[in-house]
Chain A
Amino acid sequence: MSQHDRGGIGRRSTLAAGAALGAAAIAGFPMIARGQARQPIKIGMPTILSGRVAQLGVSSRNAVMMEVERFNAAGGLDGRPIEVIVRDSRGVPAEAARIAREMITSDRVDLIFDAEASAGGFAVHEVVRETGTLTLHLNSETSSLTADPRQRFWNAFRVARQGIHDSIAGGAYAAEIVKARNLTRWMTVSPDYAYGRDTTAEFVEYLKAFAPNVQVIGETWPRLFQPDYTENVTRLTQGRPQAIYSCLWAGDLVTFVEQASLYGLFNQSQFFGVNLADYTTLQQIKALPRGMHSGNRYLKTFPAVPGNLAFAEEYNRRYQTFPTNWAWQSATAVSLLVEALRKVGGTDPRQLAAALKGMTIDSPFGADGKVTMRAEDQTLVGYAIGWGTTISADPFVENMTKADWATILRHEQDWKRSKGWA
C-alpha cells in the first residue's frame, strides 16, 4: 500500500516540509535589509554571461566596468561611486525579468542597465514599466521597443542602434552599389526568427525604395544556430543572384561565410552582411573573403577619430580582446548617465529621466562626434552608421561610407507613419 493513504505520515510530512521550507527560506535571503546610509549609486545589470551570446554579454559588462571605473576614479558624484551588480540571465527572458525584479526589490538598485538581447529586453521592459525604475536598454535593437507608442513610458530609454536605422542606411548604401554595378537580381539568407524576418523585410523595402529596379528572386531561411548551411548555400548558388543580403550574425555568420566560401559563392555574387563588421565575427572567420559589403557593428577605425581608437585600445589592454557592438553601446550608456548625474546632482529618477530626454553628448561613436537621446521616443540617434568592404587582415574593413542621418530620419518618420506610430 502506498504511503499516501496513511494520514499520519502525510501530516508529518507536511510539518517536515514546513520546516524544510522555513530553513530554505532563511538560507535563501542573506541579503535582507541592508543599510541605507551614504551609499554608492547602484546599477543593476542583467545580461547574458553564459551560452552562445555570452561573448556579447561579457563585452557589455566589460565596457560598463571600464567606464564606471573611470568615473569612480575621478571622484564619482560628489564622492558617491557607481556600483554595478551584474547577473547572468542565461538569455532566458523569465530569468531576466526575475533578476531585474530582484535587483530592484532586494538589492535596491537606483537604476537598471538592461544588457539583454531583444526577448530578455522586453521582459525587463515590462518589469520596470511596473516598478518605475529608471532603465537604460543597452542592447535591444528591435525597433518597436521605442518606436511603438504603446511600449513607451517615462523611465525607459534605449542606448542602442535600432533595426530600422540600419535597414534604411543599408538600403541606401546597397542602392548606390546597385546603380554603379547594375545588380538587379537579389537573394536573401537570414535566420528564421522574428529578428531575421523583420530586418530582411525592412532592408528589402528600403533597397527597393532607393533602387526600384531591384528584384528579389529567392530567399532561404536557415534556423537559428544551424550547424550546416550546405542546403542554403546550394540554393543560393543555384539561384545565381548578382547580390545576396544576410542578417545572420555572430557564430552563425562565421559558419555560413566559411561554408559558402568553399562553394565560391562570394566570387559569383556580391554579399551584403549587415552584421559582419564586428570583431567577434571578423576575427573568427579563417579566411575572410575580400570585398564583402558590411555594415559597422563596431570598428575601431570607424568613426576614424582618436577617441574611438583610444577606447578600443584601452579595452584591448584590459581584456585582451576588441570591443563589440554591445561594448560601444554600453560605454555610451555610462557616458549619458554620468552626464545626467552631474546635471541633476543626485539620483532622483524623475529628474534623471528629464535630464536624459533630449540630451546630446560628445561621443567618439557619433556620426559627427555627438550622439543624442531623442526626446520624442527616448532612443539613441546620431550614432555612426557606415558600410564598407572587407579585407582579410586588420582593420578588416576599408572604404567606409558614412550613412546620412537626414535620410535615415526622413524615412524613419515615414515608416512610423505607415505603422500608425507617428
Chain B
Amino acid sequence: MRTALSWRGDVLVAALAFVALAVPAFALGVSSVHDFAVRFAIFGLLAMSLNLLIGTTGLVSFGHAAFFGSGAYAFGLLMQSGGWSVPAAILAAMAFTAVLALAIGTLCVRLSEIYFAFLTLAFQMLIHSLVISWVSLTGGDQGLMGGVPKPPFLGIDLGDARHLAMFSAFCLLVSVVALRQIVRSPFGAALRMLRDNPERAAFVGLSIFRYRLAAFVIAGTFAGLAGVLMSLYVSGAFPTFLYWTTSGEAIFMIMLGGITVFLGPLVGTAIFLVLNDRITNITEHHGLVMGSILLVLVLGLRKGLLDFVVDAWRERQEKRT
C-alpha cells in the first residue's frame, strides 16, 4: 500500500514539475528556457544516473561518460542509417549502452574504491580512443557529422526547439521517477547495505557482484538516454562526450548538489549550468572564475548544497522538538 502511494506521489510531483516547465516554455514562448530545459534534462539525467552508483551504491565511477557518449553515437548512427523511427532508435541506443555497461560492469564491479574508479576510467579512455580512431564509422575527432535526422513521430517534431524541450523534460521526469522507485525498492535498500557494510550484506546472502552489476547497468542505461538527448540537441556526437572531462563534470554536479539527498544532483546540475552559462558570457577566464566559486562552495559548505540545506533544516526541527 505504501509503495503504491509513494508511486502516485512521485508521479504527481513529476507531473507538477512537468507543468512548471511546460508553462514557461509554451505560454511565454521564451526560447532561452527551451535550451536550458534541454541541457538541464541532459546533464540532470547524467548526474542522477551517476548518483545511483556514487550516492546509493557507493561506487565512484570516473568513466560514466563512456555510456553517455555511447548512447549519443549509437543513436546518431542509427538515425543516420535511415529506416529507424526516433523511439525505436532511442530504445535501441539504450539497449546498446545497457549491453556495453553489462560487459564493462562485469569486469569493473568486482573491484571497489580507487581500483573501481580507475578501471572505469580506463574503459572510458579505451572507448574514447576507439571512437577517435574508427574514423570511417564515427568521423574520428571531428565527430559524427552530417546531422541527425529527426522524423516526427506521434505528432512530436524534435526538430522544433519547444518539442525537444518538452520531450527532454518528459524523459528526465520519467527517469527520475523510475530511479526514485529503484532507490526506494528492496533492491535499493540492498544497494545501500552494500555501500555501508558489504561484509554484512554478503553474510546475509546477497550477491555483491550481481547487485552492483545491476546498479551499474541501470546507471549506464540512463546515462545512455542522456546521451541520446545530447545527440538530439547538437544534431551530432563528438568525442568530448566520452572524454573524462564529461565524467568529471557529472561528478562536479553531484558534489555541488549533494549526494545523500535524492534530488541533490539535479540541484547541482542547475547550479553548474547557470554558473557555466553566465561565466562564459562575461569572461574568457572561465576556469578561474568557476574554480573559485567551486572552491568557496566546497570549503564553505563542505557538502553539497541540498545536503547542507536538508541537514540544517533537520537540525532546526530537532532543536524545536
**Shortest CB–CB separation between residue B188 and chain A, in angstroms?**
7
Contact A29 to B32, CB < 8 A, known contacts A97-B234, A102-B277, A119-B142: yes
A50 and B236 contact, CB distance less than 8 A: no
Residue of A nearest to B276 (CB): A95
A130 and B235 contact, CB distance less than 8 A: yes
Interface residue SS majority, chain A: helix
B143 and A119 contact, CB distance less than 8 A: yes
B267 and A21 contact, CB distance less than 8 A: yes
A50 and B142 contact, CB distance less than 8 A: no
A4 and B286 contact, CB distance less than 8 A: no
Report if B240 contacts A (CB, 8 A): yes
Interface residues as binary, B65-108 with A (CB distance below 8 Å gives 1, 0 otherwise):
00000000000000000000000000000000000000000000
A126 and B235 contact, CB distance less than 8 A: yes
**Shortest CB–CB separation between residue A52 and chain B, in angstroms?**
13
> Which A223-237 residues have C-beta < 8 A from chain B?
none
Complex Cα–Cα for A264 and B233 (A): 51
Report if B146 contacts A (CB, 8 A): yes
Of A85-93, A337-345, A383-391, the segment with at least 4 beta carbons within 8 Å of chain B is A85-93
B234 and A17 contact, CB distance less than 8 A: no
Complex Cα–Cα for A216 and B236 (A): 36
A33 and B30 contact, CB distance less than 8 A: yes
B270 and A25 contact, CB distance less than 8 A: yes
Of B198-206, B258-266, B292-300, the segment with at least 4 beta carbons within 8 Å of chain A is B258-266
B260 and A3 contact, CB distance less than 8 A: yes
B35 and A18 contact, CB distance less than 8 A: no
Contact A13 to B263, CB < 8 A, known contacts A18-B17, A97-B233: yes
**Shortest CB–CB separation between residue B244 and chain A, in angstroms?**
13
Q: Which residues of A contact B (CB under 8 A)?
A: 2-5, 7, 9-14, 16-18, 20-22, 24-25, 27-29, 31-33, 49-50, 54, 87-90, 92-95, 97-99, 101-102, 105-106, 118-119, 122-123, 125-127, 129-130, 142, 144, 150-151, 193-194
Interface residue SS majority, chain B: helix
B306 and A13 contact, CB distance less than 8 A: yes
B9 and A11 contact, CB distance less than 8 A: yes
What bracket does the count of chain B residues touching chain A fall in?
A: 35 or more
A4 and B270 contact, CB distance less than 8 A: no
A94 and B306 contact, CB distance less than 8 A: no
> Which B132-148 residues have C-beta < 8 A from chain A?
132, 135, 139-143, 145-148
A50 and B234 contact, CB distance less than 8 A: no
Complex Cα–Cα for A5 and B273 (A): 29
Query: B238 is contacted by which of A22, A29, A105, A123 (Cβ under 8 Å)?
Result: A123
- B180 surroundings in chain A (CB, below 8 A): 10
Complex Cα–Cα for A28 and B33 (A): 9
Query: B192 is contacted by which of A4, A18, A105 (Cβ under 8 Å)?
Result: A4
User: Can you name 21 A-B pairs with beta carbons within 8 Å?
Assistant: A3-B261, A4-B188, A13-B306, A16-B263, A20-B306, A20-B309, A24-B267, A28-B273, A88-B286, A90-B280, A93-B238, A118-B142, A122-B143, A123-B143, A129-B147, A142-B142, A150-B146, A151-B145, A193-B141, A194-B135, A194-B142
Residue of A nearest to B279 (CB): A88
Interface residues as binary, B294-321 with A (CB distance below 8 Å gives 1, 0 otherwise):
0000000000011001100110000000
Residue of B nearest to A97 (CB): B234
A93 and B143 contact, CB distance less than 8 A: yes
Residue of A nearest to B272 (CB): A24
**Shortest CB–CB separation between residue A220 and chain B, in angstroms?**
17
Query: B274 is contacted by which of A28, A89, A97 (Cβ under 8 Å)?
Result: A28
B238 and A119 contact, CB distance less than 8 A: yes
**Shortest CB–CB separation between residue A62 and chain B, in angstroms?**
13
Report if B228 contacts A (CB, 8 A): no
A102 and B192 contact, CB distance less than 8 A: no
- B148 surroundings in chain A (CB, below 8 A): 126
Query: B142 is contacted by which of A7, A106, A122, A127 (Cβ under 8 Å)?
Result: A122
Residue of B nearest to A29 (CB): B32
A93 and B135 contact, CB distance less than 8 A: no
B284 and A29 contact, CB distance less than 8 A: no
- B139 surroundings in chain A (CB, below 8 A): 194
Report if B159 contacts A (CB, 8 A): yes
Contact A24 to B274, CB < 8 A, known contacts A29-B36, A127-B234: yes
Complex Cα–Cα for A118 and B236 (A): 14
A105 and B161 contact, CB distance less than 8 A: yes
A102 and B145 contact, CB distance less than 8 A: no
Residue of A nearest to B135 (CB): A194
- A92 surroundings in chain B (CB, below 8 A): 240
Complex Cα–Cα for A54 and B286 (A): 13
B20 and A24 contact, CB distance less than 8 A: no
Residue of A nearest to B160 (CB): A130
